Amino acid sequence: MIPIRDTISSKNYPIVNNCLIGINGIIYLVQLAQGPFLEHFIYTYGLVPARFSIPQLAAYFSTGQQLFSLISFMFLHGSFWHLLGNMWSLYIFGDNVEDSLGPLRYLLFYLLCGLASGLSYLFLNINSNIPTIGASGAIAGVMGAYFILHPKSKILTLIPIFIIPYFIEIPAFFFLGIWFLLQFINAAGSHGDISGIAWWAHIGGFIFGIIFLKIFLALPGSGVSDRIRQLTVKKKTEHLQVIHPIGTGDDSNLYGTIHITPYEAHEGSQKLVNIPWGFYKRPFRVVIPPGIKEGTILRLRGLGRQTGGGRSGDLFLKVIIQS
C-alpha cells in the first residue's frame, strides 16, 4: 500500500512545508558531495549523545557546534529512500498543520518537535557514540498534530493490482494510531541503538507534537501570518479529489459534488476523481470547462449503478465554487 495524500485540502500553499522539503533535499546533495569525509560530516552535524555526556569527546567540539547539532541532525538522512520516505510523509501531513498554525508558527513548531525528539533520544541513549540523523522525529510531531486536528480525515492509499491502480481510504486516526503503536513495539524490541533507528525519537516527537500544538493554538496569531495567508491562498483545489456519490431508491444514477475555485471556474480545469467502485476507489478524469457557473451539473456517462439489464446509470456531479 502506498499513501497518496489525505482527503483534507489545505486552503493555502504550504510555503514553509515546501521549503523544508526543498532544504532537506539540498542538504542531502551536500552530504553526497562529502565523499570520503561523509562519516566525519555526519558525526559533526548529527546528534551524538556521547558528545554531551563524555567530557573527552565534548572537548573536541565548541559550544556552538554542540548546540547546532541539536537542529542540524534533523536535516540529514542516511539514504535516498530514508529522505524520500520522510519527505513524502511531510508532504502528506505538513500542509494541513501549516494551514492551521500559519507559516511562522508552523516553522517554529516543526523545529521544536525535531528538537524534542532529539532530546528524547539523547536522554534515553546518553552514552551512545552512534549519530542519529533524519527528520523522522520532527515529522512525527507533525503527524501527532495532524492526529489531533483531523482525526476524521482519511488517507488515500494506492493499491496496485497488476497494472490497474485501486484506491482505498484509511481513516487517519487508524493510520496514525497503528503507526504510533508500531513505534512502541519496535522501541520495546530494540536493544539500545543497535537497530540504527531512533524509535524513541519518533515516539517523543509524536507526543510533543500534540503538546506543542495545544500550546500554539492557545496563543494568539500574529498579523504577519495573516498577511502571508492572504498572499498564499490557493488558486486551485486539489487535482485529485474523492467523490462520495449517493443514490436514491431504484434510480440507477448517482449524484455527488465536485469543488473548484473561482479561478478554475473562469479558466477551466481537469480533475482526477476517485469514485466508489465496489470495495475500491477507481480514478476518472473530469474536465471542467472554462466559464462554468455555480451549481452546473456535469454528467459522467456509465458511472452510475448497474441495472438488471447490464447497463449502467450516469454520475451527475454538481459544481461547487468555493471561496
Q: What is the mean pLDDT of each run of 10 residues along the chain (323 residues)?
A: 78 93 97 94 94 91 94 94 92 93 94 94 88 92 94 81 72 86 74 57 90 90 74 80 79 87 90 66 82 92 76 87 80
In CATH, what is the architecture of 2-231?
Up-down Bundle (1.20)
Strand order in the sheet with 154-161: 2-6, 154-161, 164-171, 280-288, 269-277, 240-242
pLDDT confidence of residue 184: 77
At a CB cut-off of 8 Å and minimum separation 6, what does 322 contact? 237, 259, 260, 261
Cα distances (angstroms) measured from residue 107 to each of 112, 136, 296: 9, 16, 40
Quick one: cell of 71? 537542529
- What's the topology of domain 240-321? HSP40/DNAj peptide-binding domain (2.60.260)
pLDDT confidence of residue 196: 45
Q: Are 243 and 256 in contact (CB under 8 A)?
A: yes
pLDDT confidence of residue 71: 95
At a CB cut-off of 8 Å and minimum separation 6, what does 3 contact? 88, 89, 92, 155, 156, 157, 158, 175
**Sequence letter at residue 61:** F
Name the segment(s) of the chain with CATH classification 1.20.1540.10: 2-231
Name the segment(s) of the chain with CATH classification 2.60.260.20: 240-321
CA distance 268 to 291: 7
pLDDT confidence of residue 195: 42
pLDDT confidence of residue 170: 85
pTM to 2 decimal places: 0.79
